[in-house]
């Protein structure tokens, strides 16, 4: 059976939102807590990678372990991911942004069930949209870490560019709304209105 853990990225600047997205309540539950609750239904270990662990101490986050990034040197989601991937002991990791209010447990569990059948050469298993891969809600092999570190050490910071030369398996998604990410006050209004 596939072994799996989760990495949640919670280190963005939230400059478009104007306040930390991870703490914004949706139906009374802070977004980071909501995302971690969904992850708990798929995996036993969740790593939250963030430069500001103290901000999230009051949240209810069972099964979660914090990975502290240097707040003066944050270099974006790819580098945060690499720092967390270094701690992962499972074959696969589910990577999630903290600003995904519409995640659906059934869809994630269906994806998890597919991992055993992913051909060995694929370093990741992701949804594809018209512009490229959806990198912040999908699966990566933990063995991809050396490839990721090479890319970062050469100055790379883009998931799309990192993945380009490698085979990636496709995940099906019939309702793309699941990947709606809440970046702006307008996005938040849209979520709260539904």
The CB-nearest residue to ligand GTP is: 12
Q: Tell whether residue 101 is a contact of ligand GTP (CB under 6 A).
A: no
Is 183 a binding residue for ligand GTP by CB under 6 A? The answer is yes
Q: Between helices 77-85 and 145-153, what is the axis angle to 10°?
A: 140
CB nearer to ligand GTP: pick between 50 and 144: 50
Residues 53 and 32: their CA atoms lie apart, in Å, by: 12
Instruction: Indicate the SS3 state at residue 160.
Output: helix
Pick what 136 binds: Mg ion, ligand GTP, none; C-beta below 5 to 8 Å, kind-dependent.
ligand GTP
Residue 183 as a binder of Mg ion (CB under 5 A): the answer is: yes
**37 is an interface residue for ligand GTP by CB under 6 A:** no
Q: Does 132 bind ligand GTP (CB under 6 A)?
A: no
How many CB atoms are closer than 10 A to CB 146?
8
DSSP 76: -
- Neighbouring CB atoms inside 10 A of 89's CB total 9
Q: Please say whether the beta carbons of 189 and 105 come within 8 A.
A: no
- Using CB under 6 A as the binding rule, whether residue 157 contacts ligand GTP is answered as no
Return residues touching Mg ion (CB under 5 A): 99, 181, 183
Return residues touching ligand GTP (CB under 6 A): 9-17, 21, 49-50, 69, 74-77, 80, 97-99, 136, 181, 183
């Amino acid at each position: 059976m596939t072994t799996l853990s989760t990495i949640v990225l919670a280190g963005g600047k939230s400059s478009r939102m104007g306040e930390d997205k991870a703490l914004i309540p949706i139906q009374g539950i802070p977004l980071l807590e909501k995302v971690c609750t969904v992850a708990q239904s798929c995996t036993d270990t969740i790593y939250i990678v963030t430069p500001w662990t103290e901000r999230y101490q009051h949240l209810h986050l069972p099964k979660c372990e914090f990975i502290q990034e240097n707040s003066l040197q944050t270099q974006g989601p790819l580098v945060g991911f690499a720092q967390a991937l270094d701690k992962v002991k499972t074959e696969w990791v589910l990577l999630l942004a903290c600003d995904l209010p519409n995640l659906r447990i059934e869809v994630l569990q269906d994806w998890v069930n597919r991992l055993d059948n992913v051909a060995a050469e694929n370093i990741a298993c992701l949804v594809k949209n018209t512009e490229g891969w959806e990198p912040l809600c999908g699966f990566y092999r933990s063995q991809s870490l050396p490839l990721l570190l090479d890319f970062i050490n050469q100055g790379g910071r883009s998931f799309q560019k990192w993945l380009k030369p490698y085979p990636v398996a496709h995940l099906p998604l019939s309702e793309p709304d699941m990947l709606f990410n809440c970046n702006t006050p307008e996005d938040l209004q849209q979520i709260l209105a539904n």
